[in-house]
Amino acid sequence: MATHSHDHTPRPLTSKPVSGLSGSILVPGDKSISHRSLILGTVADGQTRITGLLEADDVMATAGAMRALGATIVKNGDQWLVDGMGNGSLLEPEQPLDFGNAGTGSRLTMGLVAGYDFPVKFVGDASLSSRPMGRVLNPLRETGMQVDAAQGDCLPLTVHGAPLAIPITYRVPVASAQVKSAILLAGLNIAGTTTVIEPVMTRDHTEKMLAGFGADLSINVDSQGARHIALKGQTDLQAQDVTVPGDPSSAGFAIVAGLIVPHSDLTVRNVLLNPTRTGLIDTLIEMGADLTVENRRQSGGEDIGDIHVRSCQLKGVKVPAERAPSMIDEYPVLAVAASFAHGETHMLGLEELRVKECDRLAVTARNLEANGVDCTEGKDYLVVRGGAVPGGGQVETHLDHRIAMSFLVMGMAAQNPVSVDDVTMIATSFREFEDLMHSLGARFS
């Protein structure tokens, strides 16, 4: 059973300045694609073989839930094998589905079971239980699904699909890949056509993978630029061989480290380059990064490539609000990169950062200040004035894995070591972080 982040003794770690990182690494598989490959494998006919699955706590929680719904999921060498039930054939789980800290897994699974006339109970750790689920549950209620939830639509909660669920057409009010994906997954077992209208495009892995598994899906863009994604329900899905590319959010830490640590030259191989996920790379290139994408190729409908970076002097830029959805998880490490850049970096449109694992905007700003970086935090923006970074500060992570990794990267290039109060929760997304950084030349103690 996965251990959840609220049951642990903190493990502090200090990152020391180094002179030059070099080498070539593979980062773990993309989290979004890992969750979806397990879920779609579960409702496909036949055996889905997944290579490169992210073996982090969040994804393992999704695997456990799919087993509870009837799939057989085993690891065989470096592959994960999913023997699917077929579309419409999920079984009523005997126990509650425990998602630990997995927001994506829990929300997508709420959609997946919406077309089934049986109760499913969802539970999670303290952090997940404090995150409201209403924006996923409200559209699912329109299909006829009953929800028995705690105050504010939080976990623990039980859902029960209608005996004759109805297909919906839903215009997503706030850009959210999780809401879109939950509705499309619900549509798989509902007769008729389920349509999601998305005014602002979000990561599109669900649509790409549904099509890859053989779903009857069409995408049209209207005159206002909104995407209409239509899925015909109750059609058969076929098992697939899935190769999960490296997670661009995880790759970001090594990429930024290679740019800010003097005399560095490193390559991160096999990184997902889906245009809805490359905001950090686009921004770093605007900042003057010595960054090239090599060996571009396609796998499972997704673009992947190797990212080669060399240290260089970055310059401050303005990061527009409309770029936020394609890099929402990368702002803490971008703020670290901006700390070493010449001039000011303005990051706009950051409201969503306040409702992540913690108030990620405020926590990023406080930790920059603790390490001698001049910055201004606004309601939905952050301005960082770069230069030499004194470092030497104590970082309070508030149990946020991305804050922990970002400031360990800062310590590699600051004038003095940077101490992070706890790194235990890095395992939720990137268990291999310390080993991979050590292999490039980082010094942690």
Q: Which residue numbers are catalytic? A: 329
Structure-token match 């979806």, residue found: 36
Those residues with Cβ within 8 angstroms of residue 151's Cβ, 6 or more apart along the chain or in another chain: none
Going by C-alpha positions, the residue among 359, 316, 311 that lies closest to residue 335 is 316
| Burial group, residue 312, by CB count within 10 angstroms (0-12, 13-18, 19+) | middle
- How far is CA 230 from each of CA 23, 187, 391, rounded to the nearest angstrom? 45, 9, 51
DSSP 315: B
**Cross-strand bridge partners of residue 318:** 346
Reading the block at residue 137, the tokens are 């549950």
Going by C-alpha positions, the residue among 190, 196, 184, 197 that lies closest to residue 233 is 190
CB 359 within 8 A of CB 367: no
User: What pairing do the DSSP bridges indicate for beta strands 374-377 and 265-272?
Assistant: unpaired
Structure-token match 């009953």, residue found: 146
How far apart are alpha carbons 73 and 37 in whole angstroms?
Answer: 12
How far apart are alpha carbons 402 and 397 in whole angstroms?
Answer: 9
How many Cβ atoms from other residues are within 10 Å of residue 396's Cβ? 17
Those residues with Cβ within 8 angstroms of residue 262's Cβ, 6 or more apart along the chain or in another chain: 19, 20, 311, 413
How far apart are alpha carbons 146 and 84 in whole angstroms?
Answer: 26
Reading the block at residue 124, the tokens are 């999670």
Going by C-alpha positions, the residue among 38, 65, 419 that lies closest to residue 213 is 38
